[in-house]
Amino acid sequence: MNIQMVGIDYNQASIEYRELFSLTQSHAFHTAQELKEQCGCDGVVVLSTCNRTELWLSGTCQRDALETFCNLRRVPYAEYRNLFTHRTGLAAAQYLFSLACGIQSQIFGEDQILTQVKNALSLAREAHCTDSVLEVLFRCAVTCAKEIKSSVALNAKDTSVPARAVRLLREMLGSLKGRQCLVIGNGEMGRLAAQCLVREHAEVWMTLRSYKSREVIIPAGVRVIPYEQRYEKLPDIQIAVSATVSPHYTLNPDDSHWKAPSHPVTLVDLAVPRDLDPRLGDLAGITLLDMDKLGITSKDILETPAVQKARGIIREKVLELENWEEFRTCIPRIHSIGRHTAQGVRYKLVKPLRQALTSDEERRLVQELAQAASQKAVCNLLYGLRENLDPKLWQACLLALEKSAQEMEQ
């Protein structure tokens, strides 16, 4: 398949490098459009999550996609290119299938990545950047992931990044019951974090920007404070979780409202780029956790029977995709056989129709109808033949029929 993936993730780069390439939905939308226009490829899908940013491209690119992306992000290509992985063809497809089911995630087996893959495709559609190849590739990845989720127990302890963060907090601090917690951000990650903390019977407050007060969903059991009052709440809390898309730090020790805590505080940064100033981790009494401290996938997990079964399903789906691609490339040949055959039928009808019909218009109409019907019938027969023959034998039949059809037209 003429596809390629260029990506950076937690395997190659720490968070301070990944955040340089992290994209909001709006940025991903415009990046896809810019890459398609500047690189001249057939399709582009941009996948950007807290642990990865990937560019999926189909067709032949006239320019280096990574260099173009670096230029768009205003970072030096030569300095960062070695942090990116490049995959092509069916190897790229196999990677995407395993990514969609959570095998490639830093939080092993997590469910969020499947939604993120689906959303990346939807966003590319809105930007008019997909083509048939990327549409089929991503739809097959989603279908594969759903089959694995329904038939294989990957034994993921945590189904999301916020769930992993809260489990880690419980392991570090013991019971979270009654602990005062502040969640900064009301997006999906913030709401998931708040819900996980409530299930641990913590006392949870969530920040809310005033201009969004009519547009948000507040999880049950969570109290709200204005975003502007987050520093005022800090002296009371023991845990703060930040998960926003803000271009600025949500907590910054240089802010005039900052007050050093008088008791131990654990800060959790679920954002990429980071929400919390990294210098906070150097302050007395503060423990700072970012995405890179939430746990790496164990190699032992990847060798379990469940994962091996999942990989078997992935191989089957990749083979189906390969067959689809092979068939897609044969469609022009099938239509050519049908066209040559139908043209030959039209020539064969000239003499009989001259004897049977006196009107030139009637003869022309019958010839056109016979030609169209013949072409459709031949194409349908070849499509059906593919379902009943070994692929190699079918290819041999196509080759023989191509020669026969051309001779028939002559």
> Strands 52-58 and 43-48: what pairing?
antiparallel
**Each residue of 343-383: pLDDT tens digit?**
888 888 888 888 888 888 988 999 899 989 999 998 898 88
Q: Which of 95, 99, 69, 72 is nearest to 83 (CA)?
A: 69
Among 39, 41, 50, 129, the active-site one is 50
Domain end point (choices 278, 293, 308): 293
pLDDT value of residue 36: 97
Q: Answer yes or no: are the C-beta atoms of 138 and 96 closer than 8 Å.
A: yes
Residue 302: inside a domain, yes or no?
no
pTM assigned to the model:
0.78
Alpha-carbon dihedral of residues 110, 195, 184, 238, nearest 10 degrees? -110
pLDDT value of residue 295: 67
| Residues 267 and 338 occupy one common structural domain | no
pLDDT at 76 over 90: yes
Quickly state the pLDDT bin for 331 (edges 50, 70, 90).
confident
Quote the domain boundaries for residue 80.
Answer: 3-156
| Residues 16 and 56 occupy one common structural domain | yes
Catalytic site includes residue 397: no
Minimum mean pLDDT range among 50-64, 192-206, 374-388? 374-388
Structure tokens at 177: 């019951």
pLDDT value of residue 197: 97
Across the beta sheet with 265-269, what order do the strands follow? Answer: 222-226, 203-208, 180-184, 239-242, 265-269, 286-289
Read off the CATH number of the domain in which 9 is found: 3.30.460.30
What mean pLDDT, rounded, does the chain reach?
90
Region 168-194: mean pLDDT is: 94
Structure tokens at 37: 């226009």
Residue-by-residue DSSP string for 15-65 = HHHHTTT---HHHHHHHHHHHHHHH--SEEEEEE-SSEEEEEEES--SS-H
Domain end point (choices 93, 122, 156): 156
Greater confidence (216 vs 151) lies with 151
pLDDT at 81 over 80: yes
Region 49-67: mean pLDDT is: 95
pLDDT value of residue 410: 59
Quickly state the pLDDT bin for 341 (edges 50, 70, 90).
confident
| Residues 10 and 151 occupy one common structural domain | yes
Q: Answer yes or no: are the C-beta atoms of 246 and 276 closer than 8 Å.
A: no
pLDDT at 316 over 80: yes
| Residues 285 and 340 occupy one common structural domain | no
pLDDT value of residue 214: 58
pLDDT at 4 over 70: yes
| Residues 109 and 192 occupy one common structural domain | no
Residue 142: inside a domain, yes or no?
yes
pLDDT value of residue 244: 93
**Each residue of 245-271: pLDDT tens digit?**
888 999 999 999 998 888 999 999 999
C-beta neighbour count of 174 within 10 angstroms: 9
pLDDT value of residue 211: 58
pLDDT value of residue 31: 97
Region 36-54: mean pLDDT is: 96
Residue 273: cis peptide before it, omega within 30 degrees of 0: yes
Q: Which of 63, 29, 27 is nearest to 45 (CA)?
A: 29
